[in-house]
Structure 1
Amino acid sequence: MPSAKEIRQQFLDYFVREHGHTFVPSSSVVPVDDPTLLFTNAGMNQFKDVFLGTGTRPYRRAVNSQKCIRVSGKHNDLEEVGRDTYHHTFFEMLGNWSFGDYYKAEAIAWAWDLLTRVWRIDKQRLHATVFAGDEREGLEADEEAYRCWLEFTDINPSHVHRFGKKDNFWMMGETGPCGPCTEIHMDRTPDKSGGALINRGDPRVIEIWNLVFIQYNRDETGKLHLLPARHVDTGMGFERITAVLQGKQSNYDTDIFAPLLAALADLTGKSYRGSLTDIVDVGFRVIVDHIRMLTFAITDGAMPGNKGRGSVVRSILRRAMRFGWEAFELREPFLYRLVPVVVEHMGDAFPELRRQPERVAGIIRREEEDFLRTIERGLRYFAQAAERAQPVTSAIPLPSDASWENIRGVISGRDVFELHTTYGFPPDMTRQMARERGLVIDEAEYARLLAEHEAKSRTQPTAQPLVLRVEGPLPTTDDRSKWFGLSGQGTILGWIEGNRFVTTGRLEMAAEEAPPVGLILDRTCFYAESGGQIGDRGYITTSTGTFEVSDTQQLGQTVIHLGTVTAGYLAPGQLARLQVDSIREFTRRNHTATHLLHWALRQVLGEHVEQRGSKVKPDEFTFDFSHTGPLRPEERDRVEELVNEKIYQDWPVTWRELPIDEARKLPGVRAFFGEKYGEIVRVVEIGDGFSREFCGGTHVDHTGQIGPFVILSEEGLGKGVRRVTCATARQAVRAMQEREHLLQQLATRLRCAEHELPQRLAALQEEIRQLQQQLRRAAATDLHAAADRLLAQATVCDGVRIIVGEMPAAPEEQMRQQADRLRQKAGSAVVVLGWLENGRVQLLAALTDDVVQRGLHAGNLLREVARIVGGGGGGKANFAVAGGKEPGKLSEALELARQLALQRLAPESNRP
């Protein structure tokens, strides 16, 4: 039986050695220069420009094994992952391509030869499908492919089937390259009678290879256009063909997944048995699939986050954690422990996995730690939301694969929103949990609440460049001198007042409260705000007046000097002297420092660091970058050390303008956060090119001009994005002096020397810890006493103590302990405790086993009681929890609990 590694290599060798293909390494799962995709989801993605005729390659035949992720959009297999044995979020796509070279005859003949001669698959188990045409779109049947099957292979003619557009016309997405395809299916029925099951979703007959003949491009209107050349794009799922060749019915039974399943079994103490319905086996499949996706995605730069690609990564991670929690009762981080297993068994085929496995594991672990803080409360809230589910109405659209008969209710959009914003449950995860229980979610209400929330979150928007609406065209400004000095000359062309460009009359002094005017000259040395660097300030003077510039902005190719006339007047045609405020020298220092900082962060933290924004001012600058957690003290120190080393070495800072295509080819060059670049770009280099960035800002000539550098503070801007605030030169010196002064103050206050501060603080912390322990013991004693009072006040009914009452606020775990203690002391008991936590009601019910045997159910009891306080909940027969939002009704709810227990325990002869 061939190993997975051997199967992959046999495929590549067949096309390279026997048919002259070039091996092309897999592209990243994070697409490059393709905004239409969240993830690479097919082998053809990296060749899309060739199919469209906009790019070329030095070869016409290619073969590879492509890393793919399918979790969103048209190719979304997420809901099936774990529920069956052959869908995956991450998989390998074995493929061969022809770029205007061979076509249908060769593609079909070679596929058949590899399957039947090299891999010796039984020919009677193979079926082929071809495109039957589509009258509505005017597409003819693919008779050429049909003839090729009969002429160039010895397939059984009855095994060639015709199917319509749904099955045999391949499209990458709503737009893009497409064409008819022929698929090869494997019949795994015992008697080889599965021909009628093709494309019926029956796991006994599966597609193993798709040969696509790309000849069209579908535009945004849906129209098809013939491509300049015809191409072949084939794709075969590596996991599926491995299962076939290893004689396995399930992909998870192959040696691709065996190491991960074994590692997870060691972690959990449970065994994988392959059941399609048992929650443990489903959990095994979900987790080993998802950890492969997470390891590859994060390695390639897809960091967990709240939007776009990052939100998908986080959703997958939390789905895996949910199964760990529910199927294996794992209550601590565990996914990160599986990363080394993925790296060990896939690192030979994909060497990039070996670059920074510890960083990938660390990112996953931090995400796990974050989610573990809320998952238990979130699952409890979801259970309550499911209990509150309302009947489905026609106003709620159902998923395409659902019907009215199998949907029993709808979870409100408000509950989905609460799970998302408070408990960190991505909507995809809530949606899947709902489907598992025969429920759907109110998508429209959730979308509305999310939009309202995002609108409110924009109360402090980032500063935006001035937006002007001016009637008619504006003249172009020559601003090249901004890079060479602080003074210059220019001719006044006019100014913007309101929405008009004024080119006649005089610009005179205005009232103090008047808005600034936008002065325009033919050339300027003022820097307009862009690339994170603020606009210059300064003065513009003529023979008749002075104009004070408070800000400089840009509109298209026009530089606009915002300010007011402070003396005399200005007029069109006048020659003006321009003087930029010397404070720009500090801005220049800080801007060059951002480049050094970016380089240093990548050196210390890793190549995943990317600039996400900056604000460069004279006194300080901020720098936003991608990273999952705060800088450790030693990392922060090392970053400062590296930046200051480069400053002290006094490296030259140079720049040059290049065509963008040429600039992109420079080693290590970086471009940033969605900036739009023209045909010619400015590249700023430091030293020998260790830092090389697209940048239009102003910079020092040598790094030594920057002066000392210091990081003032660090903060998180959201998941996966950090911000550091930094200073250079005199501001850095001032910051260091302030730190020294603070240390002196602390040492004086704590009556110790500065070098003794760590030990003195540690002693204080220990003292505080001991005092807190004393307080906790006192609180536990109070809780203990409150529980004993309730026991003393208990009502006895038919030999059962009914212990009901309000308790002091305490963590739920302590309440569980008190309930267990009361059950043990009472022997036979119904315990219902209620307390207030952050303005909400919390309820807990615990029954002894003999009471359960008499028909009482803790979950059902609390479900009725929780309605009084405007909430819900449930649980097992002997233990349940619930919550509510009306604290004023807690006493009423507890009294109802007492009465319900009395009614259900009273002997039948005493019941009304």
Structure 2
Amino acid sequence: MVRELSGQFPEISERREYILQVTEAEERKYSEALERGVRLLERMVAEMPEDRREITEEQLLVLYDSHGLPPEIVREVAARAGVRVEVPEDFYIRVAKSHSRVRHVPAQTSPVDERELKGLRPTRLLFYERPKLMEFEARVLKTIGDYVVLDRTAFYPEGGGQPSDIGEIVAGEARAAVKEVLKAGDIVLHRVEPAIFRRGQRVTGRVDWERRRSLMAHHTATHILLGALKKVLGPHVWQQGAQKGVERSRLDVSHFRRISREEMEEVERLCNKVIFENRRVLTRWMDRNEAEGRYGFELYQGGVVPGRKLRVVEVEGWNVQACAGTHCESTGEVGLLKITGVERIQDGIERIEFAAGGAALKVIREREAGLARISEMLGVQEEKLPEAVKRMVEEMKDLRRKVERMEARVGEMLADLMRSRSVRMGELKVISTRIDEIGSGELIKACERIVGEDENAVVVVGGASEGSARIMMMAGRKAVEKGVDCGRIILKVSRMIGGGGGGRPNFAQGGGTRVEGLDDAIRAAVEEISRPGEG
């Protein structure tokens, strides 16, 4: 197939390995989904009442849409159980129609009545002209509730996954905090506390520089990270979402399998290499057709941007995107990038969380401090921690084996003790006792030993420890066949110790805080066993 199509589409040959990897991964996922779906269908069929043994068209659609089961497989599985399935001839057309129904997406609304903005000139965006301008002079055009409209602003409004700037606006002795900045069309709205400004007033705006600098670093780092992901994972990687923050940011990308630790380490290495190379970060406005002709649709990693003009951000020789956010002027200003986590948020989408600049350094220091605390607790040097932890893990495994052997031995001793207290109830051998200050592990092993030796055995054992009571019950296979139901009995008698419990017919346990009711609970459990047909 690859050879046949490569003549017309040379990129198929170039990406042969990627195509084969994706095909293999998708085949595996489909097989797994099919197996899960068939198991679900088999359960569904088994639970159907005798008078309604059919699968409806609606159920067919759900099985196909949610579980990937084609109607042909549903019919085959159902037929084996004698369940009727009528597959409409136009089934796949109906599926397509159900997917193509128009969904209403509410339009983003302005926080103020848009009629209030009529006649106002577009706000001059100083953050594009001078990205590092932190103080500026402006004139108040209008005040609308808590929102102030200025003729110009250096405050970046929220957008493109980047939070807005904050800061203050000052007029003489009057001072108001800028809590949020939003954009309504070409107008920038500043939400201030308190709302003290009036139309025509001359004001000074001051942007919180530390916050802006961190947001610029994280936004530029997002572009660098996307470029590195494409280099390591392949050109198929596409941005599916992003959120920039002051301390942490995240980038969601499409990828057909989980990103390995080794791949993520290489991505981080490449990111910091680009940062240390101090490449230029170029921003320019371009005609849409010109930009698409030069860079292609890779521009729209963050989504298609409206308008005839695009603001194009290029990390020189690394990544190009249409982007309206604020950025560093060179990659060196990012300082550092540290990946803090990777998770698969849905099929085919990987989320990478990271920190940049001073926030990245803070993450590293926190982790170093954590290692130092562990080193101090273990009494070893930090560079020897891996060996010390490995040694501890081996010691823990050895101790666990020893504990298991001890529990087995104690279980044997307990089983011997409990056997001596058995009584006959018809064909059943019933053992009831109370043993305090013994772990549940040892008690369970003792019970298992008894019912393993005698399938007619029923064991009821209770114990108290540190102000709480517990009771457990276990029955052999033949005892269960004769009607003993441990789950029902324990559910009933657990109330006598002020708690609850339950389980299966062959094993159940419960607990509570009324230690004084434990002996009565044990006796009541035995009485329940002695009632014919009610065990």
**Bin of the TM-score, shorter chain as denominator length:** 0.5 to 0.7
Q: Which amino acid aligns with 1:388?
A: E
Give the match's secondary structure for 2:360: helix
Q: Is the 8 A contact 2:340 2:355 kept in 1?
A: yes
Distance 2:108 2:482 in 1: 64
Q: Find the counterpart in structure 1 of residue 227 from structure 2.
A: 599
Could you tell me how far 1:722 is from its partner in structure 2? 2.6
Q: Which amino acid aligns with 1:702?
A: S
Do residues 360 (structure 1) and 3 (structure 2) align? no
Q: Find the counterpart in structure 2 of residue 580 from structure 1.
A: 207
Change (3 A) 1:646 1:776: same
Q: Find the counterpart in structure 1 of residue 327 from structure 2.
A: 699
Distance 1:371 1:807 in 2: 39
Q: Find the counterpart in structure 1 of residue 123 from structure 2.
A: 478
Aligned pairs for 1:693-732 (under 5 A) are: 693-732=321-360
Name which of structure 1's ranges 667-676 and 555-564 shifts more when overlaid on structure 2.
667-676
Aligned pairs for 1:627-638 (under 5 A) are: 627=255, 630-638=258-266
Paired residue for 1:547, among 176, 180, 191? Answer: 176
- Measured on the aligned residues, the alpha-carbon RMSD in Å equals 4.6
Q: Which amino acid aligns with 2:177?
A: E
Could you tell me how far 1:533 is from its partner in structure 2? 1.0
Do residues 639 (structure 1) and 279 (structure 2) align? no
Change (3 A) 1:703 1:607: same
Could you tell me how far 1:771 is from its partner in structure 2? 5.2
Paired residue for 1:429, among 69, 80, 86? Answer: 69
Could you tell me how far 1:529 is from its partner in structure 2? 0.8
Change (3 A) 1:897 1:590: same
Distance 2:250 2:20 in 1: 28
Do residues 490 (structure 1) and 138 (structure 2) align? yes
Q: Deviations over 1:209-250 (max 9, x none)?
A: xxxxxxxxxxxxxxxxxxxxxxxxxxxxxxxxxxxxxxxxxx
Q: Deviations over 1:703-741 (max 9, x none)?
A: 111112212233332333232332222222222222212
Change (3 A) 1:387 1:548: same
Distance 1:349 1:481 in 2: 43
Distance 1:715 1:385 in 2: 32
Change (3 A) 1:536 1:366: farther
Name which of structure 1's ranges 384-393 and 551-560 shifts more when overlaid on structure 2.
384-393
Q: Deviations over 1:285-331 (max 9, x none)?
A: xxxxxxxxxxxxxxxxxxxxxxxxxxxxxxxxxxxxxxxxxxxxxxx
Could you tell me how far 1:686 is from its partner in structure 2? 1.5
Give the match's secondary structure for 1:650: coil
Do residues 747 (structure 1) and 375 (structure 2) align? yes
Give the match's secondary structure for 1:490: strand
Give the match's secondary structure for 1:355: helix
Change (3 A) 1:430 1:411: farther
Q: Deviations over 1:80-125 (max 9, x none)?
A: xxxxxxxxxxxxxxxxxxxxxxxxxxxxxxxxxxxxxxxxxxxxxx
Could you tell me how far 1:528 is from its partner in structure 2? 0.8
Change (3 A) 1:622 1:439: same
Distance 2:240 2:502 in 1: 39
Aligned pairs for 1:892-903 (under 5 A) are: none
Give the match's secondary structure for 2:338: strand
Distance 1:381 1:722 in 2: 27
Q: Which amino acid aligns with 1:472?
A: R
Q: Find the counterpart in structure 1 of residue 314 from structure 2.
A: 685
Q: Is the 8 A contact 1:392 1:410 kept in 2?
A: no
Change (3 A) 1:5 1:490: closer
Paired residue for 1:385, among 29, 44, 68? Answer: 44
Distance 1:390 1:752 in 2: 66
Q: Find the counterpart in structure 2 of residue 561 from structure 1.
A: 190
Q: Is the 8 A contact 2:143 2:197 kept in 1?
A: no
Change (3 A) 1:741 1:686: same
Change (3 A) 1:370 1:434: closer
Distance 2:269 2:237 in 1: 18
Distance 1:362 1:699 in 2: 40
Change (3 A) 1:369 1:391: closer
Q: Find the counterpart in structure 1 of residue 469 from structure 2.
A: none
Q: Which amino acid aligns with 1:519?
A: V
Could you tell me how far 1:651 is from its partner in structure 2? 0.8
The aligned length equals 418
Could you tell me how far 1:535 is from its partner in structure 2? 0.6
Could you tell me how far 1:610 is from its partner in structure 2? 1.7
Aligned pairs for 1:504-543 (under 5 A) are: 517-543=146-172
Change (3 A) 1:350 1:581: closer
Could you tell me how far 1:630 is from its partner in structure 2? 5.0
Change (3 A) 1:473 1:658: farther
Q: Which amino acid aligns with 2:115?
A: G
Change (3 A) 1:382 1:489: same
Change (3 A) 1:896 1:352: farther
Change (3 A) 1:753 1:379: farther
| Structure 2: runs of 5 or more not aligned | 79-83, 96-106, 409-440, 459-471, 488-500, 507-527
Distance 1:670 1:468 in 2: 30
Distance 1:897 1:439 in 2: 42
Change (3 A) 1:358 1:587: same
Q: Which amino acid aligns with 1:708?
A: L
Give the match's secondary structure for 1:533: coil
Q: Deviations over 1:818-839 (max 9, x none)?
A: 98xx9xxxxxxx9999897xx9
Q: Is the 8 A contact 2:162 2:325 kept in 1?
A: yes
Name which of structure 1's ranges 428-437 and 657-666 shifts more when overlaid on structure 2.
428-437
Q: Is the 8 A contact 1:712 1:725 kept in 2?
A: yes
Q: Is the 8 A contact 2:285 2:310 kept in 1?
A: yes
Distance 1:601 1:615 in 2: 17
Q: Is the 8 A contact 1:620 1:725 kept in 2?
A: yes
Give the match's secondary structure for 1:699: coil
Paired residue for 2:452, among 778, 788, 802? Answer: 788
Q: Which has the higher contact order (CA 8 A, sep 6+)?
A: 2
Q: Find the counterpart in structure 2 of residue 224 from structure 1.
A: none
Could you tell me how far 1:608 is from its partner in structure 2? 2.8
Q: Is the 8 A contact 1:386 1:434 kept in 2?
A: no
Distance 1:433 1:582 in 2: 62
Distance 2:387 2:30 in 1: 33
Distance 2:403 2:334 in 1: 53
Could you tell me how far 1:531 is from its partner in structure 2? 1.0
Distance 1:575 1:349 in 2: 59
Give the match's secondary structure for 1:760: helix
Q: Is the 8 A contact 1:389 1:411 kept in 2?
A: no
Could you tell me how far 1:696 is from its partner in structure 2? 0.7
Change (3 A) 1:383 1:670: same
Distance 2:164 2:110 in 1: 14
Distance 1:843 1:25 in 2: 67
Distance 2:251 2:242 in 1: 4
Distance 2:20 2:379 in 1: 43
Could you tell me how far 1:496 is from its partner in structure 2? 2.5
Give the match's secondary structure for 1:683: strand
| Structure 1: runs of 5 or more not aligned | 10-22, 27-347, 394-407, 448-463, 498-516, 795-805, 810-817, 823-829, 845-890, 899-912
Change (3 A) 1:349 1:723: closer
When normalised by structure 2's length, the TM-score is 0.65
